[in-house]
Amino acid sequence: MTHRISRRTRVLGAGVGAGMLMPLVAAAAPAAAVAPQVSCTSAKAALATKLQKDITTALANRTGTIAVGLYDRTTKTTCTLRNSTAYDSASVVKVAVLATLLWDAKKHNRYLTQRESDLAKAMITKSDNTATSTLWKQLGLTKIKGFLAAAGMTQTKPGANGYWGLTQITVRDEQKLLALTTAKNSVLSDNARTYILKLMSQVISSQRWGTPAGAPSGVAVHVKNGWLSRATHGWRVHSVGTFKGGGHDYTITVLTHGNSTMQYGINTIQAVAKVIHKDLAAS
């Protein structure tokens, strides 16, 4: 869901269609030959080669600016594309908001209140914007920046003036956050990690698109998506997910902007996700 935003900006964003984006795409075309390449490494060399080839193929005819991150603990496999390119976060920032809330509660040796739990659940499972704004305001930028520093998310810049959906995020930092939610660490308690993953596993069905596409049955899926249209770069459509099962333990981040429609962005993300799930399952 989009963040709270002025009517003027909303109207500007809504007015961005494929026609208005065409000059942007056309202007970018000459640079395509030197566009960043997907880079993969793995303890299984053949897997890295296959993932690199298949992700590249999945993106071959997609317009927009696409960033990808994959990490599989089991095979020590990493794939990246535009690892440090900044994007408006839209609603994927909500995972960081929840993590900040839990990190801060741990520092003060307290449990979440019922009110905080209710807000957190609405924020993650339904992508509720009002709940997010309430928690963002409660935490304040000092605590949010404190968590980002503790998490090593140095490329993430919180949105100003309450515009949390304009937080600047990168694949590198989103993958760092997902790593913290999926393995023991000193930043998030085991209870906090369990709670985050529980809510990400309960996202309503209409918002379970993106990185879960093509996940094998029997693999536990945790997801959070974001989508936002603005006057420049069209639709931002993002998906972050963690997956465990079938002999693998992996995280996927796909960030996109310059999409003509929300569905176009979803299709791009899902094309990438499907080949990642398929290649890992076969390895």
- Contact between 255 and 238 under an 8 Å Cβ cutoff? The reply is yes
Q: Which domains does the chain have, with CATH numbers?
A: 7-28+38-90+168-281 (3.40.710)
* Encoded tokens for 112: 């979440």
pLDDT tens, 165-202? Answer: 999 999 999 999 999 999 999 999 999 999 999 999 99
Residue 24 predicted with pLDDT over 70: no
The three-point CA angle 225-229-231 to 5° equals 150
Strands, DSSP E only, in 129-233? 168-169, 220-229
What is the band of 33 on the pLDDT scale with cuts at 50, 70, 90? very low
* Encoded tokens for 215: 């996940």
pTM: 0.88
Query: Could you give the percent of the chain with pLDDT greater than 90?
Result: 87
pLDDT value, residue 34: 60
Residue 30 predicted with pLDDT over 90: no
Nearest residue to 80 via CA among 96, 66, 93:
66
Query: Which whole number is the average pLDDT over 142-163?
Result: 97
How high does pLDDT run on average in the chain? Answer: 90
3-state secondary structure of 105: helix
Q: Which residues of 220-240 are buried (b: 16+ CB within 10 A; e: fewer)?
A: ebbbbbbbbbbeebbbbbbbb
The better pLDDT of the pair 283, 5 is held by 283
pLDDT tens, 41-95? Answer: 999 999 999 999 999 999 999 999 999 999 999 999 999 999 999 999 999 999 9
Query: Could you give the percent of the chain with pLDDT greater than 70?
Result: 88
Phi, psi of 142, deg, nearest 5: -60, -45
Going by the DSSP 8-state scheme, the letter that residue 234 receives in this structure is: B
The better pLDDT of the pair 202, 20 is held by 202
pLDDT tens, 235-253? Answer: 999 999 999 999 999 999 9
pLDDT value, residue 194: 98
